[in-house]
Structure 1
Amino acid sequence: MLSYRHIYHAGNHADILKHLVASQICRHLTKKEAPFFYLDTHAGIGLYELESDQAQLNQEFATGISRLLEKEDLPEPLEAFVEIVRELNPDGQLQFYPGSPMVVDHYLRMKDKMHLCELHPNDFPLLAALFPKKRVANVVKDDGFLAVKSMLPPPQKRGFVLMDPPYEVKNDYQKVVKALEEGHKRFAQGTYAIWYPVLNRRQADSLLDAVEATKIKNTLLLELNIRGTETKRGMAGSGMIVVNPPWTLESEAKTFLPYLVDTLAEDSDAHFQLRWITPE
């Protein structure tokens, strides 16, 4: 089942959390001279045109990234991420929004390497066209969960794995936990980030419980909800489960999560979570 197209949701509150965390992980990795490897299990098309018919249908970016672009008091981590968006829109008009491959590419050095997986028959060629040179990125029409097995451990010995399946089928919730376990067995020192939607509290908590049950240590949770999680109005929020996070991420999140709640809230029940699922 491959019906999900992220273009309809590009630049929304969930993208902001996911890409902000990815940005902070990459900033941390590039503080050291040694190269790093990036694996994106569900890369999408990489760059989203917000004036397209699909993006204009719901205009989710209008209550997401557009609000941040209007702010002049962004916390430093958010300012660094928003600068990536501004660089893609040099005339000041919001036309393009970066997917995770483009966020990571902003930080990539010649010695670093990306491996991007995308199965959707319409999205894969767009992603491949965005990164035509294998020196920069290896783009494959492949199951990203299987790539966690085949690509780890990387020769670079440092790495970041982003897993953000669409969860359009329920077993994605089980697959992402299994992939985390498989990856961690092969590459325990790597940083793993799992994005998940908050469609209802029970489903989200079930995933968090399953991650906790793996007993993988040093696992941090960041969750942003722009409205109450028990309302039946689609995705109330989303979260990032980060294994081996940058040592600064928790303290940084204490500044940017409250700011995002204040800026993106849709009702008075908006809130965030920041806690250790499993401490180090």
Structure 2
Amino acid sequence: MNYRHAFHAGNHADVLKHLVLSRILALLARKDAPYAYLDSHAGTGLYDLAGTQASRTGEWLQGIDRLWQADAAPALLTDYLNAVRAFNPDGRLRYYPGSPELARRLARPQDRLHLNEKHPEDGALLKDNMRGDPRVAVHLGEGWQVPRALLPTAEKRVVLLIDPPFEQADELSRCVQALQEAIGRMRQTIAVIWYPIKDERQLKRFYQDLARSGAPKLLRAELLVHPADAAERLNGSGLVIANPPWGLEDELESLLPWLAGQLAQSQGNWRLDWLIEEQKSR
């Protein structure tokens, strides 16, 4: 309960997470059918980069600020950057939208959002930020209960973001469990798990458990800003995506090299592969 995302808002990990999320929602929006967006650990939805917490770390200067100042960003960044620009109309970067606000900006009238935040202060801020939008429901429960509490949805298409604070030693295994619960309750769920990369050896068991999770297909996308050889720092982050929409793999194959070059600190790198490949019907 000590984690506050405001310290890390807009850093390189947020850029990867929110850019990929924006592309998933954009690909879903190509069809008129509604989708539901579920966020298990939602945070407050909006962050002041000049506030006490964000300015104490300054992590956003090595993240969103680099994209903000980029001369020629790829067109696939347009939805994401436009969402950020909407909160900074004077052209100066101060406010950064978290995943709830990004999803709300990209959602259409027929789509629905279920946002969950356990931290009492952040939950109150989230409710306040989302007030007045009939598409949004804010829940103040335990994030790990979201799959069993909210799935299946009335909508046939659903995106579930699992983005815990990783304060506890068992959270990687709980991510796998949450994925299995989501797939078990609604097999077509597009489940997106964000995870930090410190010492990659610590992630070996996580990868193995994911590969045995029973998901229909599971894509892994990772972005490194340092070599993954020092456990005391955040070297990068990754996303595993169950049931990624068609076209996402190709988009990430073009985006990740650019991001690695743009966001590298000591050394940039990236990885895109399948932990579970789609089974071909005979």
The question of 1:147 aligning with 2:146 is answered yes
Q: Could you say which residue in structure 1 is the equivalent of 2:53?
A: 54
Question: Matches of 1:37 and 1:184 in 2, distance apart?
Answer: 15
The TM-score normalised by the length of structure 2 is 0.96
Q: 1:278 is matched with which residue: 270, 276, 279?
A: 276
> Counterpart of 1:276 in structure 2: which amino acid?
W
User: In the TM superposition, what whole-angstrom CA distance separates every residue of 1:33-76 from its partner, at most 9, and x where no partner exists?
Assistant: 11111110000000001110110001111111001011122122
Question: Matches of 1:192 and 1:214 in 2, distance apart?
Answer: 12
Question: Matches of 1:83 and 1:36 in 2, distance apart?
Answer: 21
SS in structure 2 of the partner of residue 155 of structure 1:
coil
- After superposition, residues 118-267 of structure 1 pair within 5 angstroms as 118-133=117-132, 135-267=134-266
SS in structure 2 of the partner of residue 74 of structure 1:
coil
Q: Could you say which residue in structure 1 is the equivalent of 2:18?
A: 19
User: In the TM superposition, what whole-angstrom CA distance separates every residue of 1:105-160 from its partner, at most 9, and x where no partner exists?
Assistant: 11112221111100012211000101123622110111122121011110011110
Identical counterparts, % of pairs: 38
Question: Matches of 1:33 and 1:88 in 2, distance apart?
Answer: 27
Question: Matches of 1:134 and 1:16 in 2, distance apart?
Answer: 25
206-215 vs 219-228, which moves further: 206-215
SS in structure 2 of the partner of residue 161 of structure 1:
strand
160-169 vs 246-255, which moves further: 246-255
Alpha carbons 1:196, 1:204 under 8 Å: kept: no
Show structure 1 runs of 5+ residues with no match.
Answer: none
SS in structure 1 of the partner of residue 201 of structure 2:
helix
Question: Matches of 1:12 and 1:90 in 2, distance apart?
Answer: 21
SS in structure 1 of the partner of residue 196 of structure 2:
strand
SS in structure 1 of the partner of residue 120 of structure 2:
coil
Q: Could you say which residue in structure 1 is the equivalent of 2:115?
A: 116
Question: Matches of 1:79 and 1:33 in 2, distance apart?
Answer: 21
> Counterpart of 1:239 in structure 2: which amino acid?
G
Question: Matches of 1:142 and 1:124 in 2, distance apart?
Answer: 9
Question: Matches of 2:89 and 2:78 in 1, distance apart?
Answer: 16
The alignment yields a C-alpha RMSD, in angstroms, of 1.1
User: In the TM superposition, what whole-angstrom CA distance separates every residue of 1:233-266 from its partner, at most 9, and x where no partner exists?
Assistant: 4110000000111211111111110011111111
- After superposition, residues 8-87 of structure 1 pair within 5 angstroms as 8-87=7-86
Question: Matches of 2:231 and 2:180 in 1, distance apart?
Answer: 32
Question: Matches of 2:202 and 2:106 in 1, distance apart?
Answer: 34
Alpha carbons 1:219, 1:242 under 8 Å: kept: yes
SS in structure 2 of the partner of residue 222 of structure 1:
strand
Question: Matches of 1:6 and 1:72 in 2, distance apart?
Answer: 28
The offset of 1:205, in angstroms, is: 2.6
SS in structure 1 of the partner of residue 38 of structure 2:
strand
> Counterpart of 2:124 in structure 1: which amino acid?
P
Question: Matches of 1:134 and 1:84 in 2, distance apart?
Answer: 17
